[in-house]
Amino acid sequence: MKTVLHKANTRGHNSFAWLNAYHSFSFGEYYNPDRMGFGKLRVLNDDTISAGMGFGKHPHNNMEIVTIPLNGALHHKDSTGRDEIIRAHDVQIMSAGSGIAHSEFNANKDQEVKLLQIWVLPKEQNIEPRYQQKSFKPADRLNQVLTVVAPDDDQAVWINQDAWFSLANLLEGTEKKYTIRQKGNGVYAFIISGNASINGIALTERDALGIWESEFLAIKADGNTEILLIDIPI
């Protein structure tokens, strides 16, 4: 088993008038040659966007972009004509493929929106741009590991990669075993809130642990914990 530990306070940080962003990997003005991704996982941004503010229309290509609002709502528009609101408990994916342009703004005028945005390098290049979002009930991941992004599960949003994202809300003392989905994959585990031990390594809020050359993760919630697991080719 190999591991890499990324403590929350070692992430990159950029703060503007309307955006407070923490970067698990090199992004924008933050560059760290030791933080260029985890296998096919390229970006994990932890963003807070002020009321009514956001990112104007900008292009992407050949990237799988997953957005997970933690609270509040995000207004998405793109060049395919999509005009959607993404809320807490939703998961959105945009396969940029051969090229797409989109904008993302806080949908509320009176509160911040907090979200995770995750970029994954695609399996196939230049596919037709694709968009999907689904809602997932919190009760369905209470003391359960719920798959929300997958290439092979109609209940999840589809991704153009051999990658699986899972969310779990674990009550203190809960123990779960997560089996890595395929040979050659690793898991990047990100603690959204609370604290947990994974394969004996203690993690607190916004810490992350990458594990590879292992068959499973042994997770124990040391407090009430929300966790994101990104199972990804290394």
For residue range 148-199, what is the model confidence (pLDDT) as tens digits?
999 999 999 999 999 999 999 999 999 999 999 999 999 999 999 999 999 9
Q: Do the first three CATH levels of 12-135 and 138-233 match, i.e. the same topology?
A: yes
Whole-number pLDDT of residue 43: 98
Whole-number pLDDT of residue 177: 97
Class of the 138-233 domain? mainly beta
* pLDDT tier at 80, thresholds 50, 70, 90: confident
Q: Who wins on pLDDT, 81 or 141?
A: 141
Class of the 12-135 domain? mainly beta
Q: What percentage of the chain has pLDDT greater than the value 70?
A: 100
Long-range pairs for 43-46: beta carbons < 8 A, 24 or more residues apart: 43/117, 43/118, 43/119, 44/116, 44/117, 44/118, 44/119, 44/188, 44/190, 44/208, 44/230, 45/21, 45/116, 45/117, 45/118, 46/11, 46/21, 46/22, 46/114, 46/116, 46/206
Please indicate, yes or no, whether the overall pTM of this predicted structure exceeds 0.85: yes
Domain boundaries, the chain: 12-135, 138-233
